[in-house]
Amino acid sequence: MTTQPEKSTGFAATDVLVSEFDGGPDTVQRAISTPEEIQPHTELGLKDDEYDRIRQILGRRPTAAELAMYSIMWSEHCSYKSSKVHLRQFGEKAPQNTRMLAGIGENAGVVQISEDLAVTFKVESHNHPSFVEPYQGAATGVGGIVRDILAMGARPIAVMDPLRFGAADHPDTARVLPGVVAGIGGYGNCLGLPNIGGEIVFDPTYQGNPLVNALSIGVLPVSRLQHKEAAGVGNVVVLLGARTGRDGIGGVSVLASATFDEEAEQRRPSVQVGDPFMEKLLIESCLELYDAGLVAGIQDLGGAGLTCALTETAAAAGTGMRVWLERVPLREASMSPTEILASESQERMLLIVTPENLGQVLAVAEKWGVWATAIGEVTPAEADGSPGRLVISWNDHVVVDVPPGSLADDGPVYARPIREPADLILLQADKAETLPRPSTGDELRETVLRMAASPNLCDKTWVTEQYDRYVLGNTVLAQPEDSGVLRIDEQTGLGVALSVDGNGRFARLDPYEGAKLALAEAYRNVAVTGAEPVAVTDCLNFGSPEDPAVMWQFAEAVRGLADGCQQLGTPVTGGNVSFYNQTGAAAIHPTPVVGVLGVFDDVSRRIPMGFVPPSAPGPAPASGAAADGDQLFLLGETATELSGSEWAWVTHGHLGGRPPKVDLVREQRLGALMARASQAGHVTAAHDLSDGGLAQALVESCLRYEVGARIALPDDGTTSFVYLFSESAGRAVVAVPRGHDKAFVALAAEYGVPCTPIGVTSREPVLEVRDEFSIPLPELREAWSSTLPRLFGGVAEIAGRHGDPEHAANPDGPGFSAPSGVPDAGGSTVDRGDAALAAAAAGGAMETAAPVEVSLSEALGISSAGAASAEDSVSGARSVELEISESAAEPEDEAGDEATSDDEAISGNEAISGDEAAPGGPIEPAE
């Protein structure tokens, strides 16, 4: 055997796998003739018994390329080998739901929202790559989840990003967070997708293992739903999109399916490198192909790359496939067959098309300036009726000959040992309810300010201003609202609401209840906007499955989530499991992140979280408004539930006890009440109570539009402290216009929801709690808004961290715009609303794309007339200009009540303050 060393890819055992044997690749024929050759299966993450099983399946040793393929597809990330036995509960306990068009097992769940329209949504993780290389790890996480949505036949219309980092003041958080945020903003902004929500959580448990989860949602006509099956013998296999390089090789088998330890630095593969401009072209070309009926099957290439796409499409149809690997367009001509199959280069899709449509497919690809290459064909099943085989050759050498189902469907399944963590009993016995509490008004005042300034509760504008929240013109509510709300149909007002939530501390104390609490919070966040929650996606982030304590936490969380979804009638449509989130023996807190989708028949009746300004003096206020403000009601019951709370953590650094009890029947009642109240126009603002309790909800609702509140807490034996800082579930604070209060109270009684009056909104900019304290809103805002800029610096610092020294020295120079509210180099504050962050988002490697507006017809996938020619598509930065929606392009100020200012009266749901849009009108950024 002679070896010719190749360029290092970071893939385990690369030197062996990419070597040539006697002047050629490791072929199937050579594997047959050299059965005893030692292979580096353990370095690829395969156990000895797994390797033996591969030999049994093939009847010989695998070739180097086959060994790499099995190591990828049998990895934890791809095969779900440790989680499958538990995830079955989502199917076994799934509630009956007529809206579901596609669910678990597909690229993303698809939910029908009208007779003609459906939405598809999914959340996934990109945790390990984002720690290794924050910018590209996060950016390609966004790109990957967007392609999952695209593969279902949908136009992606928005993204969300639940993020978790180590301690806010830790030096490594200062390295990771700015890069992650810039990567998410850089990729999403260049795609022209609004970022409408998410989470940012800091906790030492995530030190060295940040959680970067990404969610995307898309819209499609029901008739355009796509599938991945490689059906139709003789159909052509087409690779569409970017050329294939060495980036990301081994990502799912080595990086995402193992813990970080001292040796990890020696074997971390390179992280994928994203190109959002190519992804934008890929999206438009795929949508045009869908509308023309030219696609018989489609699968995106993300984790596991070509290996996953080829095996899954063939296995889904029970067919075989013949692939000529030398036809794959490469960025580096020296790549070996193993590298090509294992590469996770981004912005690629695998298409199955009929031979007669191949010419049209290639023409559409040429028009959009993307590579399209016929690399294979679909072959029939075996003569005995068994599924066909996947045969891959490289320059006339057969390097792969496997049954595709053995990789995609028949990987190992483990019922791993489970054991309750040894410290759990003592942890639960250490209750936060016994900790010293503030008792005087001054102590309560100081606690409110301290909590508002804490990293988990403070203003996240430093992050969210780096994202474009309003591009496409259909964002109705966005960060920092409880849910992101999108208008889907401009004629009817049909829309959706989305929220993602999780609480690792609650899950650490009780993973069963913690998962149900995450579900309940996401459900409640959607419900308080007035939407009907209908479906769930999840991203389950845990430590090593080889640790019995971690597997116990996982099993309990899955059980809790499955039980909760069954009770709420919201099926799990799909999601992701991310194991090995730990460094050495230290696992993260179990962190199930839950996304809930809600549906509006008309988004004009959505309820924002911010208290609306009381009517100005003068003429009689419009119906539903009053000069002395709205009445405030606390919905739900408050108990002394402080264990796992933000108060316990911020003031005492304490984690112990049991999390709050969750009553899903009460959550349903609250949701039904809010939907009815929204339809009747009884509520002008609503905010769920969760982290930080009532105190934090009042802070955020007051500061949203600078509206004060005068609060009188009930005198029922419960202390002011408990009312303010308890985190009991199933609660919300609502603002009800005078004249609507009796009807609302009666409606609450009808639904069995406790409804307690607690005060009024006020024109005076003060948050006052009677007999306790008073805090001017400017003082409150200073505490709330200064934390992240103080921790992570201004824009010059951000640019410097991302390889952009020119812009770091001159942040206001060409190609760079400072985010809103961040002091520039001269000390003045730059206010640019919601425009995209340019150089910081681009990491010094991308140009800033102009905002892209898409009309309703394009959002539904109707091909845009006059699309750019192929020459135009690939020139310059390859930005794509699309037709701008008239409704989004021009304000409708002349329409009377179509647009309102903060100072105008609020009448039912006819007018919205601040950056909220009037029904059917434009969505404008906040001033």
State residue 254's pLDDT score.
55
CATH number of the domain residue 380 falls in? 3.90.650.10
Looking at the fold, whether 443 and 320 belong to one and the same domain comes out as: no
461 assigned to some structural domain: yes
Q: Is the pLDDT of residue 255 over 60?
A: no
- The binding site consists of 80, 122, 124-128, 147-148, 272, 300, 344-346, 538, 575-576, 578
State residue 854's pLDDT score.
36
Under 8 Å between Cβ of 458 and 785: yes
| Average pLDDT over every residue of 94-122 | 92
d(CA 587, CA 208) in angstroms, rounded, equals: 10
Looking at the fold, whether 402 and 430 belong to one and the same domain comes out as: no
For residues 709-735, b (16+ Cβ closer than 10 Å) or e, as one string? bbbebeeeeeebbbbbbbbbbbbbbbb
746 assigned to some structural domain: yes
Phi, psi for residue 711 in degrees, rounded to 5: -110, 135
| Average pLDDT over every residue of 219-248 | 94
Q: Which of the residue ranges 11-15, 75-79, 857-861 would you say has the lowest mean pLDDT?
A: 857-861
Looking at the fold, whether 448 and 364 belong to one and the same domain comes out as: no
**Catalytic residue numbers, as ranges:** 77, 126
**pLDDT tens digits, 719-772:** 999 999 999 999 999 999 999 999 999 999 999 999 999 999 999 999 999 999
Name the domain boundary from 737, 755, 785.
785
Looking at the fold, whether 717 and 594 belong to one and the same domain comes out as: yes
CATH number of the domain residue 715 falls in? 3.30.1330.10
Alpha helices in 492-547 (DSSP H): 504-509, 511-527
802 assigned to some structural domain: no
State residue 269's pLDDT score.
53
Looking at the fold, whether 507 and 360 belong to one and the same domain comes out as: no
Looking at the fold, whether 339 and 481 belong to one and the same domain comes out as: no
Q: Is the pLDDT of residue 273 over 90?
A: no
| Average pLDDT over every residue of 876-892 | 31
- Overall number of domains in the chain: 2
181 assigned to some structural domain: no
State residue 137's pLDDT score.
92
83 assigned to some structural domain: no
449 assigned to some structural domain: yes
d(CA 588, CA 208) in angstroms, rounded, equals: 10
Q: Is the pLDDT of residue 799 over 50?
A: no
% of the chain beyond a pLDDT of 90? 74
Q: Which of 677, 703, 660 is nearest to 755 (CA)?
A: 677
- Higher-confidence position of 686 and 20: 686
Q: Which of 434, 316, 465 is nearest to 817 (CA)?
A: 465
**pLDDT tens digits, 35-62:** 999 999 998 889 999 999 999 999 999 9
162 assigned to some structural domain: no
Under 8 Å between Cβ of 566 and 94: yes
State residue 906's pLDDT score.
28
- The binding site for ATP consists of 80, 122, 538, 575
| Average pLDDT over every residue of 689-697 | 98
Looking at the fold, whether 564 and 677 belong to one and the same domain comes out as: yes
Summary mean pLDDT of the chain: 83
| Average pLDDT over every residue of 275-296 | 96
Q: Which of 264, 244, 250 is nearest to 304 (CA)?
A: 250
State residue 499's pLDDT score.
97
What are the structure tokens assigned to 724, written together?
């303010």
Q: Which of the residue ranges 119-133, 320-334, 695-709, 850-864 would you say has the lowest mean pLDDT?
A: 850-864
Cis peptide before 480 (omega within 30 of 0): yes
Looking at the fold, whether 543 and 406 belong to one and the same domain comes out as: no
d(CA 566, CA 560) in angstroms, rounded, equals: 10
For residues 799-829, b (16+ Cβ closer than 10 Å) or e, as one string? bbbbebeebbeebeeeebbbbbebeeeeeee
Looking at the fold, whether 383 and 428 belong to one and the same domain comes out as: no
- Domain limits for position 308: 1-73+227-413+869-877
- The binding site for substrate consists of 125-128, 147, 272, 344-346, 578
Looking at the fold, whether 442 and 350 belong to one and the same domain comes out as: no
| Average pLDDT over every residue of 70-77 | 92
Looking at the fold, whether 408 and 433 belong to one and the same domain comes out as: no
d(CA 820, CA 739) in angstroms, rounded, equals: 38
State residue 173's pLDDT score.
96
Under 8 Å between Cβ of 196 and 469: yes
State residue 267's pLDDT score.
41
State residue 98's pLDDT score.
86
Q: Is the pLDDT of residue 599 over 60?
A: yes
Alpha helices in 705-832 (DSSP H): 720-725, 741-751, 777-785, 787-792, 795-801, 805-809
User: Model confidence at 96, in pLDDT bands (50, 70, 90)?
Assistant: confident
d(CA 619, CA 411) in angstroms, rounded, equals: 73
Looking at the fold, whether 599 and 747 belong to one and the same domain comes out as: yes
State residue 232's pLDDT score.
93
Name the domain boundary from 760, 785, 810.
785
637 assigned to some structural domain: yes
Q: Is the pLDDT of residue 907 over 70?
A: no
| Average pLDDT over every residue of 92-111 | 90
